[in-house]
Structure 1
Amino acid sequence: MDVESWIDRIEQIFEVLYCTDDQKVKYATYHLTDMANKWWKSTRALVQLELGEAVPITWEHFKKIFLDHFFPQTLQESRARQFMDLTQGSMTVAQYATTFMELSRFAIYLIPDEEKKAEKFERGLDRRIRERVRTLRIRSFIELVTRATIAEEDLQENIEYNNQRKRQQQQQPQAVSHKDKRPHIMNRQGQPPAGQTYPTCATCGKRHLGRCMFGQNVCFKCGKPNHLARDCPVKKPGEPGRNGGQKTHATARVYALTPIDAEASNDVVTER
């Protein structure tokens, strides 16, 4: 407990016990400990000598010499500067209000009335809280502390809610888009375009998107039946035909590897 707080505490006890002025000094000095007690033992005789043996030491006189020794003017000025620069910072509103009251005693001239006190407190609030209470134009210090505390609680709830949503979104697996239901067309090497990775198909064991055409006797290029991808008549824009633009369509006979492919075309010879 600092010197100022100790004085305040002792004076509260005086009011409860209805102490006389002489009793106040006796009671207060009885509670001095360590260095303060040693200081009083050496100082009391000098004070009594200065006042005279018949003159009692009053509480106000004791308090003055006590504060001059343990709380000098230079320290009081330092506390006043702390109050002038005081802002909420990382403190809660309640902590800021407590510190504000403790330091305000050393710079009463900065807050001569209730309105100036409220203005000084509002300027030091966290920006997000200050923006919420500024429009209310509160001029009572106690009311301002109450409103600022409510604004702080609302702000904290919003922060926790947003953080919870972010955690939930991060925990959810990324869904694969199924908007394109068309058969996926591989390039000539059966690989996806550069820079892309497709999921492994459970049917054919290869990587691709869309419906798997394996074993369905259809063209892997256009998805239509009765021909293979290399003989697909569907060409990309600007791509020449297999015969260099000529209209001859000589039918070739090939040996199919499986009976399924043979049944799909009359131009295939199968081995029985």
Structure 2
Amino acid sequence: MKPPQFHGGLDSLKAETWVLDIEKLFEVFPCSKTQKVLLATFTLEDKARRLWMLMRENNKDIGWARFLEIFYDKYFPQCVRDRKVSEFMERKQNSMTVAEYEAKFTELARFAPHVVDTDDKKARHFEGGLRDDILEKVNVLKLETYIEVLDRAIISKANIARQATSTTGWKGSKRQGFFSKKKFSKKQNIGSSTTSNSSRDTSPMCNICSKRHRGVCYRMSRACFKCGKTGHMARECN
């Protein structure tokens, strides 16, 4: 197992990551408080190693807690840690996905251990930072553990996305149906108009009887309007 190395510098997150990785080694290789310092300082490189060599004479046989105080004062000062705590307390999901929010939450939670020192407190703090549309689907369930809240938040986000896609597709289909119906109606009206026009009498208007007909006007020949024969009127025609 290759131990993590720390080269110094002004990147506070790298310093914190190194501490976390070193403490993981302590779980596998149990050490006394002074042995922890020996193991940790053995992995220091470059500027970090040179600085420790200068400080070592005045800090012989110190324990791990005291070493962390010295280390953090140099590479992770209190003012930076306070900013991280504030960032954690104010962290909201906003436009992030649930996975992105969870990753940022986990990264910052270690700077405020007093806020998440129980699973219930961790769950409530994570839940409180969720976006409103997801929060309203999660907090009504009154879930007890952090894992349950995280799992339900992921499911709720997926459901919301699926509903949005379904609604968009339904509106598009409805709009397309509306225009298709309108187009069909317009064609139907055009057809009806054509049929109506074609059914109109196109015979010429007679100047004598003021009616449309072809051939000799019966009024002029005094013929019956029903049978076309002379000698009687239409009202007398049998």
Q: Give the alignment's TM-score, normalised by structure 1.
A: 0.61
Give the corresponding residue for 2:129. 124
Q: Is the 8 Å Cα contact of residues 88 and 96 (structure 1) preserved in structure 2? A: yes
Deviation (angstroms), 1:181: 4.0
Map residues 10-159 of structure 1 onto 2, 5 A cutoff: 10-48=22-60, 56-111=61-116, 113-159=118-164
In 2, Cα distance between equivalents of 1:168 and 1:35: 66
Q: Give the alignment's TM-score, normalised by structure 2.
A: 0.68
The range that moved more, 31-40 or 7-16, is 31-40
Task: Provide closer, same or farther for how the CA distance between residues 37 and 138 of structure 1 changes in structure 2, counting only shifts above 3 A.
Answer: same
2:202 to 197, 220, 227: 227
In 2, Cα distance between equivalents of 1:219 and 1:170: 31
Runs of 4+ in 1 over 6 A off after TM superposition: 167-173
In 2, Cα distance between equivalents of 1:165 and 1:112: 47
Query: What root-mean-square deviation, in Å, do the aligned CA atoms of Structure 1 and Structure 2 show?
Result: 3.4
Deviation (angstroms), 1:144: 1.1
Q: Is the 8 Å Cα contact of residues 111 and 117 (structure 1) preserved in structure 2? A: yes
In 1, Cα distance between equivalents of 2:47 and 2:168: 52
Deviation (angstroms), 1:31: 2.0
In 2, Cα distance between equivalents of 1:57 and 1:219: 107
Deviation (angstroms), 1:219: 7.0
Q: Where do 5+ consecutive residues of structure 1 fail to align?
A: 49-55, 183-208, 232-242, 253-264
The range that moved more, 113-122 or 144-153, is 113-122
Q: Is the 8 Å Cα contact of residues 25 and 59 (structure 1) preserved in structure 2? A: yes
- Equivalent pairs: percent with the same residue? 32
Q: Where do 5+ consecutive residues of structure 2 fail to align?
A: 1-12, 217-238
**What is the count of residue pairs matched by the alignment?**
201
What residue identity is the alignment partner of 1:89? N
Q: Is the 8 Å Cα contact of residues 219 and 226 (structure 1) preserved in structure 2? A: no
Higher relative contact order (CA 8 A, sep 6+): 2
Task: Provide closer, same or farther for how the CA distance between residues 179 and 251 of structure 1 changes in structure 2, counting only shifts above 3 A.
Answer: closer
Secondary structure in 2 matching 1:89 = coil
Give the corresponding residue for 1:261. none
Secondary structure in 2 matching 1:83 = helix
